[in-house]
Amino acid sequence: MKDIIISTRFSVFETVQELPSDIQNLMKQAIEVRKNAYAPYSKFRVGAALLLDNGQIVLGSNQENAAYPSGLCAERVAVFQAGAVYPDAKILKMAITAASDTNQTTDPIPPCGSCRQSIAEYEIKQNTPIEIYFMGEIGVIYKSDSLKNLLPLLFDKSFL
């Protein structure tokens, strides 16, 4: 037997103001669109903003449904919207923020497993890493240089 060691690296920003200006703008838009989340069941609101290589910004917020799991997370709403409206554009950067209606979220909240897999599909398809910045309602922001940091043993079409 042998062990495989997988390590990841994240950059940590103490505040939104410490982010590069384009990412500050992206995160501010994610914070704003978070307010549009339809989250009557979880009371957990998420906003996502994507920067595409054509300069467009695509937004998404989570949309729940009483018939679980019919709703969608903010990240997938934004990624699928980008794929539908700008099918030839590459996703360069993604900002994600999450807040609870019941308690303040202070830790960075990464994408869930389903969103990681969906983002991976686009990162592989476009053959360009997607920078992902994520935070709670307040507090530090984590930056991942690629989805592969969040899902190092990803499943893709090469396995099919």
Residue pointed to by tokens 């190092």: 152
Sequence letter at residue 41: Y
- C-alpha distance from residue 57 to each of 40, 46, 65, 94, 114 (Å): 27, 17, 26, 10, 22
Q: Is 24 annotated as a binding residue?
A: no
Residue 66, marked binder: yes
Q: Is 14 annotated as a binding residue?
A: no
* Helix (H), strand (E) at residue 74: helix 74-85
Residue 112 marked in a binding site: yes
Task: Tell me: is residue 115 an annotated ligand-binding position.
Answer: yes
Residues acting as catalytic residues? 75
The answer on whether 65 is annotated among ligand-binding residues is yes
**DSSP state string for 115-135:** HHHHHHHHHHHHTS--EEEEE
* Binding-site residues: 62-68, 73, 112, 115
* Binding-site residues for substrate: 62-68
* Binding-site residues for Zn(2+): 73, 112, 115
